[in-house]
Chain A
Amino acid sequence: MGVVTRGFGGRRPDPDRELPPGQFLTQDFPVLSAGPTPNVDEAHWQLEIHAETGEVHRWSWEQFLALPAQDVTTDIHCVTHWTKLGTTWRGVSLDTLFEDVETSADFVMAHSYGGYTTNLPLQDLLDGQAWVAFEFEGEPLDPVHGGPARLLVPHLYFWKSAKWLHGLVMQDDDEPGFWERNGYHLYGDPWLEQRYS
């Protein structure tokens, strides 16, 4: 299934397209992370969703790859001012992963292998807005860009798209993640230029 998100411009993006305020175009894919790249072995990789009830939903790499996947073409916006147009990904929609999760909590803390965290409202992960991506530009996701699998939430600044995703933990309150505790915005909408708290 193909998915087109806001700003889709095909394989040859229009350089005159409107960008979020304060952003400039890049053709590269700069690497940003808060620590060294963790060595995540797919044989031991697990993705977990923890509901506030204590219920845990868990997928091995094989189980995860057996889920229905989508091709996604989208622009991505980094808080450090670069925007990359028309990037292509393949991943599993969060709608699929949350299909059997019963929760009344409104917020999620994403946890990565290596210890990184970032907070998001649950409503920003559902309704075709977010994926757990495992391919970039037709290739398995490189570890420096978050492989084997990363969160992809392209309508928010890219620090919200946690690399090396390991788990999603439901939380009643919007507790801040790593960068959010250290001066960055709790939500991070690039169109509203929500860079800092």
Chain B
Amino acid sequence: MSDDAQRTDRLDGNAVAGALGAAYGIDVTLAVVRCVSCGHTDVVARTRVHLSPMGAVVRCAACDAVLVVVVERPDGTLVSSPGASWVRG
């Protein structure tokens, strides 16, 4: 049985560096992100990333809230970040 979700639970922010870098125009692995939910600030590389074929879900390492969602669509990459107060490059 395919087990994509379980296999990818332990990925970190480096897993979405390419997609986020293209969207933000910065090296996001060295960027700092602030969590709306708990206020935790950390480098993107230390976030938790849950990869699935539907998209990548970037979660706060401190409280597990969703920071950023990346969806690869046929018409381009959609990046939404309602859980991030800001991303600083």
Contacts and interface: CB of A to CB of B under 8 A. Distances in A.
Interface stretch (B17-25, B38-46, B52-60): B52-60
Contacts of A35: 50, 57, 59, 64, 66
B51 to A, nearest CB: 10
A182 B5 contact: no
A144 interface: yes
Nearest to B82: A181
A183 B64 CA distance: 22
Interface stretch (A6-14, A26-34, A88-96, A102-110): A26-34
Residue among A34, A115, A179 with the most chain B CB within 10 A? A34
B80 A181 contact: yes
A170 interface: no
A80 B53 contact: yes
Interface residues of B, number: 24
Contacts, number: 66
Main secondary structure of the interface of A (DSSP, over half): loop
A196 interface: yes
Interface residues of A, number: 21
A144 B6 contact: yes
Interface string A19-53: 00000000011111111110000000000000000
A34 B57 contact: yes
A31 B80 contact: no
Given A35-B59, A36-B9, A30 B54 contact: no
B53 A29 contact: no
Nearest to B48: A36
Nearest to B69: A182
Contact of A30 (B4, B57, B74, B78): B4
Given A182-B69, A182-B78, A28 B9 contact: no
Contact of A34 (B1, B6, B52, B82): B52
A141 interface: no
A58 to B, nearest CB: 26
Nearest to B7: A31
Contact of B5 (A33, A80, A115, A179): A33
Interface of B: 1-6, 9, 50, 52-55, 57, 59, 64, 66, 69, 71, 73-75, 78, 80, 82
Interface of A: 28-37, 79-80, 115, 144, 159, 179, 181-184, 196
Return the 6 tightest CB-CB contacts between A and B, nearest first. Answer: A80-B53, A30-B2, A183-B78, A183-B71, A182-B69, A31-B5
